[in-house]
Structure 1
Amino acid sequence: MVTGHWYQFSTAMLVEDFINRKKSSWERLSVIVERSRRGGLTSLEDEEITELGRLYRSATSDLAVARRDFPGHRVVDYLNGLVARAHAEVYQRRADRSSGLARYFAADLPRTFRE
């Protein structure tokens, strides 16, 4: 029984250490994602766009570690939400731009020639 308590304490210490080591990166990613959600990628500086990609990849790796090492812990849910929001900014915005480009070539450009 004592061993079980020691293990629980040890696991709690491990997850808290993991969170403490990674928290500042997750918070920074959250700030960049929120700015991008409000103002689009064009509201970000070039360095922030690069940082968004780097922090997103790091957070996905952290999510994998958390799922493996701390299943059922709240950090898994937090990271899952953060990664999902970041994914939408990293990948969905590209789709928005490409659909705008497609619309330009399919509708706007031909309309210019007709007028």
Structure 2
Amino acid sequence: MDADYDIFEIVAVIRDFWLVDAESYQRKYCTNHGQTLAPGYYVVNWPEHIRARRFNDHAAFHGPFKFRKEAQVALEWMHKTRELLLTRFSEVSSAAALNATPMEVKKL
């Protein structure tokens, strides 16, 4: 799995340390706590700075959800929340830049 993938993905954990990704490939996974995940659907996300989207200790697994549709609703909520935060951050940054002195802008 490479950097072209979205920051969020729905996967199905099928057994210990194995999942099925969004493209229907079976893949091994690991968690940052070393424990297996319960079978079910998960929304996985990665930090922005992670270029190679692998199912390793950088991945955050949210779930389990019993049905894929439940995971899809969670994924949509996560996308909306992320967009809202990015928009607000952009607005705050723009407002701060407008109120900044030329020397403060140069520092940014």
Question: 1 or 2, which has the higher helix percentage?
Answer: 1
TM bracket, shorter-chain basis: 0.3 to 0.5
Q: Which structure has the bigger radius of gyration? A: 1
Using the size of structure 2 for normalisation, the TM-score is 0.37
Normalised to the residue count of structure 1, the TM-score between the two structures is 0.35
